[in-house]
Amino acid sequence: MGAPDAASSRTDVYLDWAASTPMRPEAIETMVTAAQAGFGNPTGSHHVARTARRLVDDARDEVADVVGALPSEIVFCGSGTEADNLAIFGSQAHSGGTTACAAVEHHAVLHPVQHLGGAVVNVDSRGHVDLDHLREVATAELSVLSVMLANNETGVIQPLEPIRAVLDAQAPRALLHTDAVQAFPWLDLREAAVCADLISLSGHKFGGPKGVGVLVVRDRARLSAQVLGGGQEFEMRSGTHNVAGIAAFGTAARLMHAQRDSVVARVGALRDRLVSGLQDAVGGITETAMPAQADGAAADRSHKVAGSAHLCFDGIESEALLFMLERQGLAASAASSCASGAQDPSHVLAAMGYSRELAGGSLRLSLGFGSTGDDVDRALAIIPPCVDQLRTAAA
């Protein structure tokens, strides 16, 4: 699905859905209607304020339903990053003690944990938490452990139940936080994150607006607010509500949940065709987080979300490839969208044991609910010649 590039070149093929998605038409309609009808301050007592508050409450009910939470456990924030920060800093501020996270976390988690002097837990070659190392870290002093449900670069799904079991056995007071920003479009959080105490979401990853996030705070979890003022969001996050954005978030979340099964099946098939086509057309490709398989065996990507195709190309640099792809009308990224343009290879791939040279040629091709077969066809026509050209120039 194409969208014009206001700066200069066109975009015929958008394969950066993990970075951000277009807003769903229904979410835009909700946003416009809410902006017109819900312009009042939801904390007021008059009719206009009550209308705004009802829009927020309706969205809270929608989100609670699709994540398997109580409405009182839904805390609206300004972004997924703010939700992650609230989970880490809020847990530590309330309970004291130490913090920890997996080595492959988004920087919205990794940086707060490092800022607090917390521990970083090792992962294996698939990006799964090393449970033996976690057992060393999970002491009685641990206040919060953060482990991403689906990795934003590789798409690897993290099983949370074994992690929860380690905490229950060794650090029973520790909260388990999961950044589910990338997971929600692909996984039913009512099952995949049932054992988490804290869950982060971000609207623009599934057809909602930018600037709206959610932190699910289970009743058993206790946090100290990090944004103080008017005491909104159950005293957890002060600030006047973004009524229109919150309403649109609710609509997008409801639609994503309702359509998830069909989207996963359709997009998963597109992803598989894209990866297989590139592997057939271009040599020297490593698909990350994939185990060795017998010759002729179909690749099993069930441990990854359906929209994620993460590859490393021998003998090229990511930034040069991305530049060429954009010139051909294809939008993608090298690692996290927050890190694209950085000269250092992905910390995620480094933690998984990939060499600096191989990680330097990484390409994240991510699909979403609006991706089409034509997107895959165009990508298969564009990417191989660009890779060949770069390798020839480097030879």
Instruction: Please name each of the domains of the chain with its CATH number.
Output: 13-22+260-394 (3.90.1150.10), 25-256 (3.40.640.10)
Q: Which of 77, 195, 338, 386 is catalytic?
A: 338
- DSSP reduced 3-state for 321: helix
Q: What average pLDDT does the segment 195-206 reach?
A: 98
Cα separation values, 372 from 1, 28, 155, Å:
7, 22, 19
Q: What average pLDDT does the segment 274-284 reach?
A: 97
Residue whose pair of structure tokens reads 């359709």 in the numeric block: 266
Q: pTM score, two decimals?
A: 0.94
| Residue 77 falls in the annotated catalytic set | no
What's the pLDDT score for residue 345? Answer: 74
Return phi, psi of residue 2, to 5°: -95, 155
Q: What average pLDDT does the segment 294-316 reach?
A: 90
What's the pLDDT score for residue 7? Answer: 42
Kindly tell me the burial class for residue 281, based on how many C-beta atoms sit within 10 Å of its own C-beta (0-12, 13-18, 19 or more): middle
pLDDT in tens, 120-132: 999 999 999 999 9
**What number of H helices and E strands is found in the chain?**
12, 12
What's the pLDDT score for residue 113? Answer: 98
First to last CA, the chain: 35
What's the pLDDT score for residue 9? Answer: 54
Task: Decide: 123 and 130 in contact? Cβ < 8 Å.
Answer: yes
CA distance 334 to 348: 12
pLDDT in tens, 140-164: 999 999 999 999 999 999 999 999 9
What's the pLDDT score for residue 295? Answer: 67
What's the pLDDT score for residue 183? Answer: 98
User: Lowest mean pLDDT: which of 1-5, 293-297, 323-327?
Assistant: 1-5
What's the pLDDT score for residue 343? Answer: 54
* Confidence bin at 376 (pLDDT 50/70/90): very high
The fraction of the chain above a pLDDT of 70, given in percent, is 94
Residues 6+ apart with CB under 8 A from 22: 1, 3, 207, 370
pLDDT in tens, 325-338: 999 999 999 975 44
Task: Say whether pLDDT at 6 is over 50.
Answer: no
Task: Decide: 215 and 86 in contact? Cβ < 8 Å.
Answer: yes
Task: Decide: 16 and 331 in contact? Cβ < 8 Å.
Answer: yes
Shortest CA distance to 268 belongs to which of 383, 142, 155? 155
* Confidence bin at 316 (pLDDT 50/70/90): very high
Task: Decide: 48 and 40 in contact? Cβ < 8 Å.
Answer: yes
Q: What average pLDDT does the segment 256-276 reach?
A: 98
Q: What average pLDDT does the segment 358-365 reach?
A: 96
CA distance 237 to 228: 7
Q: What average pLDDT does the segment 385-391 reach?
A: 97
Task: Decide: 34 and 219 in contact? Cβ < 8 Å.
Answer: no
Q: What is the largest CA-CA distance in the chain?
A: 72
Task: Decide: 145 and 196 in contact? Cβ < 8 Å.
Answer: no
Average of per-residue pLDDT values in the chain: 94
Q: What average pLDDT does the segment 186-207 reach?
A: 98
What's the pLDDT score for residue 114? Answer: 98
Cα-Cα-Cα-Cα dihedral of 274, 14, 264, 349, to 10°? 70
DSSP string covering 70-105: -GGGEEEES-HHHHHHHHHHHHHHHH-SEEEEETT-
What's the pLDDT score for residue 344? Answer: 67
Residue 219's CB is within 10 A of a number of other CB atoms, namely: 10
